[in-house]
């Protein structure tokens, strides 16, 4: 793409789930020192930026998504000085740094919430959160019927009788974004980190900040379904995607907040950017977050939620490019993150239908990891050939599967407890990364570590390590390295447009100019490749001009 367009229009951004990436100090938990030690690896992968999950001071009720102090780094991860050194060092490697900001809620240990508890009902301190009296004769019923994304009611009652809202865990009270101090405080936090050199922010639950002022009950049809990665199934929600007015998700008023944030980002030199975690129920609703005066980009979860079907994927790609293009924003493509089942394990299952925003992302039933891995390889070539930016979740470049047999005793995700032990939660995609060696901790922690990794790694991950896969040209890692390198070098890749080519049913084929074609075979039979001058990259063997089922190729034409 042209050298003048902002970098974020077609960046490859690597997601660092800090607890599980690399442990520098040997306590079994990943940290900033660990990230710094692995910057050469990230450079070798060729990524443009890293997004780091929350690193702020936190009691870790939701592994950092419960922030007690947004201007401090949790001692588990390091210090603000170390964060500044990481930012500078990453920049020297040509890698930008995007932390996560969590504006929907704070930790219950945050100074504001503690002050609200101490000040009592009716106090101005309580107005920065969403406190309400209960319903029923003695106020013993919650103020409305909203449900927590982690299970159970979204309200908790205090001994003084007041109830407070938490769309997630009780340790994560929701802020009141109607309050001017809340708005001013977050703009100040953004400036604090922008002035320390960060290149942007990933905005957590960006679609949740504004609530309907009357806090009405959920419309009957939406109960008890929730929107987002942590939802419970509701068969009544099947069918074409439609937008329905919801009292706490994706309300129009939220965009005013982001117009103000955009102005803050624009105060700083360089191209700072935001990426919204916004679960919107139509591509139009998602595009509303990335209009010219709003945020820069948003995760495209429709791509992640799509089943392994050419028809479904093509529809998602067309809708995304169409809707985002109409507002001048680039698309983003994402296959996995720290909230969903790893895609080798998703694609290894026979889920035929497209997921909906209110379905669980942890499909059950037998898994065929060989199939899932073959598809994951093809999906990587598809994702990295599409116009726009792409996200790689740590470990997907190693082909890691979901760890589905973690012993119950080690599960830490609040979903496990809140669901009454019916949902194992997200720990299975958060297992520490295997770097080297034949046995746990596979180089995740230093040799003299005082503690084992915070989640146990499988005994059979030796073949998944970075060490084992490096220079093995059949490995997932070398496929990603090759694809990211080619994407950087090839003038057709990155930002821009695509043209679909005629292909058999179940086959996706598109051209990007100049001279590039990507073909993905999602059908059950081998497919004859279109005319080409050479094969640039193949997820499988692509022998004899035939593309086997569940394989993809990049062609020079
Ligand atoms: C994050 C989750 C987190 C939740 C609450 C999300 O969408 O990605 O990991 O639990 O927000 O902050």
Check whether residue 19 and residue 140 sit in a common domain.
Answer: no
Phi, psi of 19 (to 5 degrees): -60, -25
pLDDT higher than 50, residue 385:
yes
Query: Is residue 170 a part of any domain in this protein?
Result: no
CB 335 within 8 A of CB 304: yes
551 is catalytic: no
pLDDT digits (tens, 9 = 90+) for 473-504: 999 999 999 999 999 999 999 999 999 999 99
Contact 22, 454 (CB under 8 A): no
| Mean pLDDT in residue range 191-203 | 98
Does the pLDDT of residue 356 top 60, yes or no? yes
Name residues contacting ligand 1 (CB within 6 A): 62, 65, 102, 168, 204-205, 277, 338-339
Q: How far is the CA of 140 from the centre of ligand 1 (A)?
A: 29
State the total domains in the chain.
3
**Of residues 82, 204, 319, 550, which has the active-site annotation?**
204
Assess whether 194 and 243 both reside in one domain: yes
Ligand 1 atom index nearest CA of 229: 7
Residue closest via CA to ligand 1's atom 4 equals: 65
Of 259, 324, 326, nearest in space to 298 by CA: 324
Q: Does residue 41 form part of some domain?
A: yes
Res 200 pLDDT > 50: yes
Q: Is the pLDDT score of 232 beyond 60? A: no
Same domain, residue pair 326 and 453: yes
Query: Looking at residue 506, which CATH number applies to its domain?
Result: 2.60.40.1180
Whether residue 368 sits in one domain with residue 231: yes
* Claim to verify: residue 262 and residue 344 sit in the same structural domain: yes
Report the separation in Å between the CA atom of 272 and the middle of ligand 1, taken as the mean of its atom positions: 23
| pLDDT of amino acid 503 | 97
* Averaged pLDDT for residues 40-62: 98
Please tell me the predicted confidence (pLDDT) of residue 226. Answer: 42
Domain of 185, CATH number, reads: 3.20.20.80
Residue 514, domain extent: 498-556
Atom 12 of ligand 1, nearest CA residue? 65
pLDDT band at 220 (very low <50, low <70, confident <90, very high): confident
Look at residue 556 in the predicted model and tell me its pLDDT: 98
Distance (Å, whole) CA 205 – CA 208: 6
Q: Is the residue at 12 inside a domain?
A: yes
* 221-242 mean pLDDT: 48
Specify whether 187 is located in the same domain as 40.
yes
How far apart, in Å, are the Cα atoms of 157 and each of 154, 212, 309?
A: 10, 21, 46
Same domain, 277 and 224: yes
Question: Which of 169, 204, 279 most suits a substitution to test ligand 1, by most atoms within 8 Å of the C-beta?
Answer: 204
pLDDT (mean) for 318-341: 96
Note whether 347 and 308 are within 8 A (CB).
yes
Ligand 1 mean position, distance from CA 429 (Å) = 14
pTM, 2 dp = 0.96
**Residue 357: predicted pLDDT:** 62
pLDDT digits (tens, 9 = 90+) for 37-47: 999 999 999 99
Same domain, 115 and 232: no
Mean pLDDT value across residues 517-537: 97
CB contact burial 66-84 (16+ within 10 A = b; e otherwise): bbbbbeebbebbbebebbe
With cut-offs at 50, 70 and 90, classify the pLDDT of residue 281: confident
Q: Is 37 helix (H, G, I), strand (E, B) or coil?
A: helix
Confidence of residue 92 (pLDDT cuts 50, 70, 90): very high
| Amino acid 553: pLDDT | 98
Domain CATH for 155: 3.90.400.10
Mean pLDDT over the full length of the chain? 94
Q: Which of 256, 267, 293, 318 is catalytic?
A: 267
Task: Please say if the pLDDT value at position 1 is more than 50.
Answer: no
**How many CA atoms within 13 Å lie on the side-chain side of 468?**
18
Whether residue 257 has pLDDT greater than 80? yes
100 and 127 inside one domain: no
């Amino acid at each position: 793409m042209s050298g003048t367009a902002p970098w974020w229009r077609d960046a490859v951004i690597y997601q660092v789930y800090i607890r599980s990436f690399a442990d520098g100090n040997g306590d079994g938990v990943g940290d900033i020192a660990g990230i710094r030690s692995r910057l050469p690896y990230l450079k070798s992968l060729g990524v443009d930026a890293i997004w780091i999950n929350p690193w702020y001071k936190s009691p870790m009720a939701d592994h950092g998504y419960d922030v007690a102090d947004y201007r401090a780094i949790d001692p588990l991860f390091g210090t603000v000085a170390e964060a500044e050194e990481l930012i500078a060092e990453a920049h020297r490697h040509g890698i930008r740094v995007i932390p996560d900001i969590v504006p929907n809620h704070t930790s219950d240990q945050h100074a504001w919430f503690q002050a609200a508890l101490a000040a009592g009902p009716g106090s101005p301190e309580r107005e920065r959160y969403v406190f309400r009296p209960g319903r029923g004769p003695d106020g013993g019923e919650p103020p409305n019927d909203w449900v927590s994304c982690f299970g159970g009611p979204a309200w908790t009652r205090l001994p003084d009788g007041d109830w407070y809202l938490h769309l997630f865990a009780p340790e994560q009270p929701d802020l009141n974004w109607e309050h001017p101090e809340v708005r001013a405080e977050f703009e100040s936090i953004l400036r604090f980190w922008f002035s320390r050199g960060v290149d942007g922010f990933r905005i957590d639950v960006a679609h949740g900040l504004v609530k309907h002022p009357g806090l009405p009950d959920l419309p009957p049809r939406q109960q008890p379904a929730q929107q987002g990665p942590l939802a419970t199934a509701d068969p009544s929600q099947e069918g074409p995607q439609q937008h329905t007015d919801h009292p706490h998700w994706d309300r129009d008023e939220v965009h005013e907040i982001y117009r103000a944030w955009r102005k803050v980002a624009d105060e700083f030199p360089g191209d700072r950017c935001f990426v919204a975690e916004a679960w919107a129920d139509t591509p139009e609703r998602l595009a509303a977050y990335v209009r010219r005066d709003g945020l820069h980009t948003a995760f495209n979860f429709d791509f992640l939620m799509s089943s392994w079907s050419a028809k479904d994927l093509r529809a998602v790609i067309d809708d995304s490019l169409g809707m985002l293009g109409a507002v001048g924003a680039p698309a983003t493509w994402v296959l996995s993150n720290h909230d969903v089942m790893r895609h080798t394990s998703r694609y290894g299952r026979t889920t035929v239908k497209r997921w909906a925003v209110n379905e669980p992302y942890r499909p059950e039933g037998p898994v065929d990891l060989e199939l899932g891995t073959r598809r994951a390889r093809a999906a990587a070539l598809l994702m990295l050939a599409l116009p726009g930016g792409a996200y790689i979740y740590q470990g997907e470049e190693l082909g890691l599967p979901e760890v589905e047999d973690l012993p119950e005793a080690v599960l830490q995700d609040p979903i496990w407890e809140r669901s009454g032990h019916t949902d194992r939660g997200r720990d299975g995609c958060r297992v520490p990364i295997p770097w080297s060696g034949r046995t746990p901790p596979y180089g995740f922690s230093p040799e003299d570590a005082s503690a084992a990794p915070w989640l146990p790694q499988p005994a059979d991950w030796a073949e998944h390590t970075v060490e084992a896969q490096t220079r093995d040209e059949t490995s997932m890692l070398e496929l990603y390295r090759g694809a990211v390198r080619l994407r950087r070098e090839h003038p057709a890749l990155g930002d821009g447009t695509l043209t679909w080519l005629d292909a058999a049913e179940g086959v996706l084929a598109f051209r990007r100019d100049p001279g590039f074609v990507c073909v993905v075979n999602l059908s059950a039979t081998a497919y004859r490749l279109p005319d080409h001058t050479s094969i640039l990259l193949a997820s499988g063997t692509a022998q004899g001009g035939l593309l086997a089922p569940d394989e993809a190729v990049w062609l020079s034409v």
